Homo-oligomer: A and B are copies of this chain.
Amino acid sequence: MTQDQAKAGFLDKVSWNSDSLVPAIAQDFKSGRVLMMAWMNRESLALTASEGYAVYWSRSRKSLWRKGETSGFMQKVRELRLDCDGDTVLLLIEQEGGIACHTGRSSCFYHLLQEDQWQVSQPVIQDPKAIYK
């Protein structure tokens, strides 16, 4: 077994879904807040592990998505975790710029269910027009 094969072994432990993807949850390493969930393919998980920054797979663009490539808000990986049945990845990350969401909010989970309605519960930190120039 070559060194590259040994390194890639952890990718074989992942239960990729029928689209060869795995859901990846990004959690802020310091605050513990869950910031977003996106998807990874084999290449993006390998790159995330080797580069130390989150790389997802954009299902809409069908391409690798280096988080922060446009916004600058990269996610430095502190821990990579896999769940019991190998079909979900958890990333403990440092969110550069403090903004994970494309709406300019710190977290994507800003809709809170209250009285049977999703209420916006987090402020916009930076106007997306200023982020995605």
Is the pair A25, B37 in contact by a Cβ cutoff of 8 Å? yes
Select which of B25, B49, B105, B118 is within 8 A of A13 by beta carbon. B118
Is the pair A116, B49 in contact by a Cβ cutoff of 8 Å? yes
In chain A, residues 118-133, which have Cβ atoms closer than 8 Å to a Cβ of chain B? 118, 121
Select which of B79, B88, B121 is within 8 A of A37 by beta carbon. B88
Is the pair A10, B84 in contact by a Cβ cutoff of 8 Å? no
A16-49 CB contact bits vs B (8 Å, 1 = yes)? 0000000101010001111011000000000001
Q: How many copies does the complex hold?
A: 2
* A90 within 8 A of partner (CB): yes
Select which of B6, B33, B83, B105 is within 8 A of A116 by beta carbon. B6
| Across-interface contacts of A101 in B (CB, < 8 A) | 84
* A80 within 8 A of partner (CB): yes
Is the pair B37, A112 in contact by a Cβ cutoff of 8 Å? no
> In the bound complex, what is the Cα–Cα distance between A83 and B116 (angstroms)?
16
Is the pair A10, B80 in contact by a Cβ cutoff of 8 Å? no
Min CB distance, A21 to chain B, in Å? Answer: 12
Is the pair A112, B79 in contact by a Cβ cutoff of 8 Å? yes
Q: Which residues of A contact B (CB under 8 A)?
A: 6-7, 9-10, 13, 23, 25, 27, 31-34, 36-37, 49, 79-86, 88, 90, 101-103, 105, 108-113, 116-118, 121
